[in-house]
Structure 1
Amino acid sequence: MTLPRRLDETRPFVPVRFAVLTVSDTRSAADDRSGDTLAERITQAGHELAARAICRDERAEIAAQLRLWVADAGVDVVLSTGGTGLTGRDVSVEAHRDVYEKEIEAFGTLFTYISMQKIGTSAIQSRACAGVAGGTYLFALPGSPGACRDAWDDILLPQFDYRHLPCNFVEIMPRLDEHLRRK
């Protein structure tokens, strides 16, 4: 299912800097299909792939990598893939929530809605989530290439296009960390 998009072609495209984190005990750079899917879509859309890494399904390691990228002025958005399921090793959601200052609750809801159109009730097994920390967007996506495509194509692509109306994530980026500047 593709949701309707409205672009204001009079507005300029604004490239965003993305980092991609693959969470897996078994993947390597040679067989990271989900990370490859996200990296390809990011660059095809005109954005910058600022960083990419793979880390084990360890809550502290995932949170540490997220914090490194939150602190990096060269990263605007972090997309992690993997570790959002229900098994004991699936700890990406918990690691993300350790880092979030604010959660974007509607992301998980919208992702589930889109997934339902493709995989039916199996969508209930994903705990995809999103939030903001230190002025950086953070998204935890499932580890399958199909789920990464769905999240990118139907949610992230339009939301990270400044021309997307009626609103988008790019236009509020300068204000994400305004609470930190007031101190």
Structure 2
Amino acid sequence: MDTMSTEYTNSLNIAVLTVSDTRSLDTDKSGDYLVSAALEANHKVVARDLVKDDVYVLRAIISKWIADPEVQTVLVTGGTGFSGRDSTPEALSVLFDKNIDGFGELFRQISFEEIGTSTIQSRALAGFANKTLLFCLPGSTGACKTAWTKILKEQLDSEHKPCNFVHHL
């Protein structure tokens, strides 16, 4: 057995953040979906929160999580559109040590099959910060399902070949 397969576990510690001016934890279907999907994939959800769309509040909570060695991956839903208060990309991209350009590109490619040209209004993005993965998804539950089932589930699985993100954590 190679050392890589014994060194990594198939379970990650995930934090979920919803960015919304209109939802509460009680009405947050997108955050609920991401929590359920992560748990179903045998990951551990170590934190969950919901914040208003405010650049500095977003940066504060994400900075706390990326400084926490227990948090390996952060899933953010909401604030990626073009409305006046959508500011997730501006808030979080400055925290990235490295961008994962292919995530946003692939997400929009897959979304095109589902929603057509409306996908160009998605500013989904991802990056690494302090060896923590950050994925910023649109706020719709459908978009969260697309991202999870068609990208994230495999890329957060240490057994997915030929490569996955787990060995970078």
TM bracket, shorter-chain basis: over 0.9
* Deviation at residue 53 of structure 1 after TM alignment: 0.3
What residue number does 1:77 align with?
A: 73
Secondary structure of 1:14's aligned partner: coil
Is 1:162 the equivalent of 2:158? yes
What residue number does 1:150 align with?
A: 146
**CA, structure 1 residues 12+131, in 2 after alignment: closer, same or farther (shift >3 Å)?**
closer
* Deviation at residue 12 of structure 1 after TM alignment: 7.7
Q: Deviations for 1:85-136, whole angstroms, at most 9, x for unmatched residues?
A: 0111000011111211111111100000010011111111100000011110
What residue number does 2:4 align with?
A: none
Letter in 2 for 1:154: K
Rounded Cα–Cα distance in structure 2 between residues aligned with 1:171 and 1:120:
34
Rounded Cα–Cα distance in structure 2 between residues aligned with 1:117 and 1:160:
23
Rounded Cα–Cα distance in structure 1 between residues aligned with 2:8 and 2:93:
33
* Deviation at residue 146 of structure 1 after TM alignment: 0.3
For residues 19-30 of structure 1, the aligned pairs below 5 Å read 19-30=15-26
Choose which of 104, 119, 122 in structure 1 pairs with 2:118.
122
Secondary structure of 1:37's aligned partner: helix
What RMSD over aligned residues (CA atoms) do the two structures have, in Å? 1.6
Is 1:101 the equivalent of 2:97? yes
Contact persistence 1:159–1:168 (CA under 8 A): yes
Q: Deviations for 1:163-183, whole angstroms, at most 9, x for unmatched residues?
A: 10000001222xxxxxxxxxx
Uncovered stretches (5+) of structure 2, i.e. residues with no partner: 1-6
Rounded Cα–Cα distance in structure 2 between residues aligned with 1:127 and 1:17:
25
What residue number does 1:112 align with?
A: 108
Letter in 2 for 1:22: T
Letter in 1 for 2:151: I
Q: TM-score normalised to the size of structure 2?
A: 0.94
Rounded Cα–Cα distance in structure 1 between residues aligned with 2:110 and 2:9:
26
Q: TM-score normalised to the size of structure 1?
A: 0.87
Contact persistence 1:22–1:54 (CA under 8 A): yes
Contact persistence 2:19–2:53 (CA under 8 A): yes
The number of aligned residues is 165
Letter in 2 for 1:87: S
Structure 1 runs (4+) deviating above 6 angstroms are: none
Is 1:62 the equivalent of 2:68? no
Letter in 2 for 1:31: T
What residue number does 1:8 align with?
A: none
Uncovered stretches (5+) of structure 1, i.e. residues with no partner: 1-10, 174-183
Q: Percent identity?
A: 48
Letter in 2 for 1:156: L
